[in-house]
Amino acid sequence: MNIVGISACAAGIAHTYIAKEKLVEAAEADGHTIHIETQGTVGTEDELDPADIAKADVAIIAADISVSGKDRFKGIKTIEIPTELVIRSPHKLMKKIEEIVESK
C-alpha cells in the first residue's frame, strides 16, 4: 500500500515529529511505502512529492490543528486522526487503514 500524509500539532514541535515517526515505523513494519510531510512552527518539512501523491492508496492527516494542502488529496481515501491516537496505537491504526483501503 502507498501512503502519504501530513503530521501537525498545535505547537508544531514534539507531537508532529513523534506522530510522523510512529506512522513511518508502523507502515514500514507492515511492508508499506509511506511519505509524511510535517507542518509546524518551522514551516513545512519533507513536502510531499506530487508523484507520491498520485500513487497513493490513502492519505493520513495526523493533526490537532488545521493543515494546509489537503486539496492535494482529492480523489484519495483520506483519514483524519489526532496525533495522540497515532502515537498511542500506530500498529492498530495501520491495521484499520488496511481494512479501510481493502474495502474500496
Give the model confidence (pLDDT) of 71-97 as tens digits.
999 999 999 999 999 999 999 999 999
Location of C-alpha cell 497513493 = 56
Q: Which CATH class is domain 2-102?
A: alpha beta
Q: Which three cell numbers stand for residue 9?
A: 500539532
Q: 3 with 34: CB under 8 angstroms?
A: yes
Residue from 9, 81, 87, 94 carrying the catalytic annotation: 9
| pLDDT at residue 8, rounded to an integer | 96
Q: Which of 30, 73, 66 is CA-nearest to residue 48?
A: 73
Q: How far apart are the first and last CA of the chain?
A: 13
Q: Using pLDDT thresholds of 50, 70 and 90, give the confidence band for residue 104.
A: low
What is the reported pTM? 0.93
Give the model confidence (pLDDT) of 14-63 as tens digits.
999 999 999 999 999 999 999 999 998 888 999 999 999 999 999 999 99
| pLDDT at residue 42, rounded to an integer | 83
| pLDDT at residue 102, rounded to an integer | 87
β-strand partners of 5: 36, 60
Annotated active-site residue 70? The verdict is no
